[in-house]
Structure 1
Amino acid sequence: MTDTLQLGLDEAELERLGGLWTAREIAQQPAMLRETQALLMQRRAEIEAFLQPILDQAGVRIILTGAGTSAFAGECLAPALARRLGRRVEAIATTDLVCAPHLYFEADTPTLLVSFGRSGNSPESVAAIELADRLVSTLNHLVITCNADGALARYGQGPRGMNIQLPEATHDRSFAMTSSFSCMTYAALAVFSGVAALDQRIDGIARATQAVIAQYTPVMQAVAGEGYQRVVYLGSHIFKGLARESGLKLLELTNGALVTMFDSPLGFRHGPKTIVNDQTLIVVFFSNDAYTRSYDVDLLDELRRDNDAARVIAVTAQDGVGLAETDQIKVPGLADADDVELLFAYIAAPQILAFFESLRLGLKPDKPNAAGTVNRVVQGVRIHELT
């Protein structure tokens, strides 16, 4: 065993603590984002040849789907991609598609089903593809997966499909998805924004993500040591999806020991704000868009006036949030970036916080649920025949 450090801890110690894979997979994200972009550039012509005829169809519909974290990747992207493409783009979880397919699938609407999957073996992911094939007359599949041997990858190799196979290292071995989430999200962003266009942006995105990991790992470790009992993540538009993923990481890695919530800054006032007490940490993801950011600032000002939360932290790429430096996670180099490019640096700090909260509680981050009631690949799902 080497003395390599991951998130500031020696790998031998991490292995003893049961957190080696989680730490590695969080720390490797900048490198994996770069590797993902390089792979996409190699397949650029193939991707464009597959995608352009689909996007040229009148009234085409794009569904971003997956289960759990894979579904939240779609939630982080759908509004931004809809605007960029001028097409109908929706994030609908496989867990919704499977239980009520007639509510979601449209028989006569040309559809591109974009399926995200770390393992590609979740029962709902496979069932969603099979139901789509059955119910939609004009259908194509784009599969973005981390596992070349998964069921989803095989579907993506069909005559009306394409499989985007991510680097093997993104097939996270930890219970919680970290680099798999960031790289699947990035791959979809690049595919639909133009792989060559993102080649001009990947360096800044990866550098910013690396900077957050390097600078704020000790900060997040200290925050975990403060012992909050409730953690709320808030974000507008695409950052609401990121807030949802952030809350799930904390819930997963603490085995449900901490109460977590996500919402938008505007939505938080409509009842959910009652969760706030003197044991609550609130984290707000700030938009770069000046109009949207004004609502983020308004809520932050309100929380300070209320003085009910134990602590409020802003994750921001721009100055001027009005908090002490110690209560800001500042993302460098992306002050002028589109919000969607902030997703990757923004998610790093919540992942690190969840990791250290897991250790604080005496759990093993690689497998926090020792009882096996939840699993890395979901078990116990029975898919019912649609009649």
Structure 2
Amino acid sequence: MPNYNESVTYTEILQQTNKWRALQGILSAGMPRFREFLEPLLSNPKLRIVLTGAGTSAFVGEIAAPALQGSTKRRVEQVPTTTIVSNPREVFAEDVPVLLVSFARSGNSPESVAATHLADQVAQDVHHLIITCAEDGQLAVDHRDRSESLVVIMPEGSNDKGFAMTSSFSCMLLSVLVLLGGYDVDLLPRLADTADEMVERRHDQIEALAQKLPERVVYLGSGPLHGLAHEASLKFLELTAGDHLAFFESSLGFRHGPKAVIDDQTQVFVFVSSDAYTRQYDLDIIKELRGNIGVDAVLALSATDVELENAWVLDDLQDVPDAFVAVVHVMVAQLMGVFTSAALGKTIDNPFPAGDVNRVVKGVIIHGLPQ
């Protein structure tokens, strides 16, 4: 069995908290420049904010969009680059000012680059916020000297070397929440301290769950945590090379057909919302599923004390929005993926050695847009 301690991916999961501390310094130092670019755009009540990326980078926007919708009081949507590239005229059909926020680990995937070019072609009034981990990536290079673009580079070492996105994901998510949401950058070290404590406390328990080798893993969450469930399921699917099934849904949506995936070989993780109203629906599905497959098979992850058996509760984050709590919870999912990958005998840093799936997507042909 591969030793996960020797994998780059395992190291990159654990290094995330130090990357968040470094990110605090980057965002604090650059804030005057960032505000000079962003504040005039955000002052326009007609502004449409589109969060884009592919795969895990898209899920950054899926988590952030609900939180930013509330904090900016602007129209915020998550639209994957894959949708923009294949249907640019539909995405930008409306004649309103657009801030296109692009998330990219390397910035070299064909869709990441093409999405910004197509937005320039189709949208009448578009500005770009590029959040990327690679200063020399094509996306950063294309936009670094443009007056209508702002490029923000994540901390050194966040451009993951492993196949799975880990540090890149959490750093980009925290960045957009601070940059557009107006949240205090000093929250980042607080998240880092809580995450360090969580990993120390839960590391062996996560490994024990993985070694049971559940054939099906389900992640559920509401609001921003629905996007987290999406990312968590992808991490498991990627790192096990698709050998074990991973599924995600919202807590309410799960009953509408997807619940059929549940059997006695299923492990469920429910990300419980800190919002008192939303949390009721998370607790309802936990109770229902435990009645179906047992308490041990349904783990609740929460930043609020939910007074449940088999619940892992984070300390000191009760007042923190779910979109921020997501970066702590995701480390459980990342570790679950790594430990399961090791138990299955996979090559953790490259689960697809034959190249069926690649770290930076290959095989995409970008077709010219007819005038």
Offset, 1:31 = 0.6
Residues 1:375 and 2:362 are matched in the alignment: no
After superposition, where does 1:337-356 map in structure 2 within 5 Å?
A: 337-356=320-339
Q: TM-score, normalised by structure 1?
A: 0.92
Give 1:361's aligned residue.
344
Letter in 2 for 1:75: E
Q: 1:189 aligns with which of 172, 177, 186?
A: 177
Give 2:262's aligned residue.
276
Letter in 1 for 2:170: S
Offset, 1:336 = 2.1
Give 1:242's aligned residue.
228
User: Contact 1:171/1:180 (CA < 8 Å) preserved in 2?
Assistant: yes
Q: 2:201 aligns with which of 215, 218, 242?
A: 215
User: Contact 1:315/1:329 (CA < 8 Å) preserved in 2?
Assistant: yes
Residues 1:76 and 2:63 are matched in the alignment: yes
After superposition, where does 1:59-138 map in structure 2 within 5 Å?
A: 59-106=46-93, 108-138=95-125
Q: Give 3-state SS (helix, strand or coil) of 2:103's partner.
A: strand
Give a deviation string over 1:130-159, Cα, whole Å, max 9, x none.
100000111100000000110111233112
Q: Give 3-state SS (helix, strand or coil) of 1:318's partner.
A: coil
Alignment partners' CA distance in 1, 2:307 and 2:135 = 43
Q: 1:175 to 1:19 in 2, by over 3 A?
A: farther
Q: Give 3-state SS (helix, strand or coil) of 1:199's partner.
A: coil
Residues matched between the structures, number: 369
Give a deviation string over 1:163-201, Cα, whole Å, max 9, x none.
00011200000000001000000010110123xx42332
Give 1:233's aligned residue.
219
Alignment partners' CA distance in 1, 2:231 and 2:78 = 14
Q: For structure 2, which runs of at least 5 residues remain unmatched after alignment?
A: none
Q: For structure 1, which runs of at least 5 residues remain unmatched after alignment?
A: 1-13
Letter in 1 for 2:299: I
Give a deviation string over 1:327-360, Cα, whole Å, max 9, x none.
3222111122222221111111010000000000
Q: Give 3-state SS (helix, strand or coil) of 1:168's partner.
A: coil
Alignment partners' CA distance in 1, 2:92 and 2:55 = 20
Alignment partners' CA distance in 2, 1:15 and 1:149 = 33
After superposition, where does 1:230-309 map in structure 2 within 5 Å?
A: 230-307=216-293
User: Contact 1:277/1:309 (CA < 8 Å) preserved in 2?
Assistant: no
Give 2:17's aligned residue.
30
Offset, 1:308 = 6.3
Q: 1:131 to 1:309 in 2, by over 3 A?
A: farther
Letter in 2 for 1:171: N
Alignment partners' CA distance in 2, 1:44 and 1:164 = 11
Offset, 1:17 = 5.8
Alignment partners' CA distance in 2, 1:199 and 1:384 = 40
Alignment partners' CA distance in 1, 2:148 and 2:306 = 49
Sequence identity of aligned pairs in percent?
43
Q: TM-score, normalised by structure 2?
A: 0.96
Is the deviation greater in 172-181 or in 155-164?
155-164
Alignment partners' CA distance in 1, 2:338 and 2:313 = 20
Letter in 2 for 1:120: G
Q: Give 3-state SS (helix, strand or coil) of 1:169's partner.
A: coil
Q: 1:310 to 1:331 in 2, by over 3 A?
A: closer
Q: 1:54 to 1:136 in 2, by over 3 A?
A: same
Q: 1:57 to 1:383 in 2, by over 3 A?
A: same
Letter in 2 for 1:122: S
User: Contact 2:48/2:99 (CA < 8 Å) preserved in 1?
Assistant: yes
Q: 1:348 to 1:367 in 2, by over 3 A?
A: same
Alignment partners' CA distance in 1, 2:27 and 2:5 = 33
Q: Give 3-state SS (helix, strand or coil) of 1:143's partner.
A: strand
Q: 1:176 aligns with which of 159, 164, 187?
A: 164
Q: 1:244 to 1:347 in 2, by over 3 A?
A: same
User: Contact 2:52/2:79 (CA < 8 Å) preserved in 1?
Assistant: yes
User: Contact 1:126/1:151 (CA < 8 Å) preserved in 2?
Assistant: yes
Alignment partners' CA distance in 2, 1:286 and 1:273 = 18
Letter in 1 for 2:265: Q
User: Contact 1:281/1:309 (CA < 8 Å) preserved in 2?
Assistant: no
Alignment partners' CA distance in 2, 1:238 and 1:356 = 26
After superposition, where does 1:306-325 map in structure 2 within 5 Å?
A: 306-307=292-293, 311-323=297-309
Alignment partners' CA distance in 2, 1:309 and 1:214 = 24
Q: 1:336 aligns with which of 301, 314, 319?
A: 319
User: Contact 2:19/2:155 (CA < 8 Å) preserved in 1?
Assistant: yes
Offset, 1:203 = 2.5
Deviating runs (4+, > 4 A) in structure 1? 14-19
Give a deviation string over 1:267-310, Cα, whole Å, max 9, x none.
00000001000000000000011100011111111112223687
Offset, 1:317 = 1.1
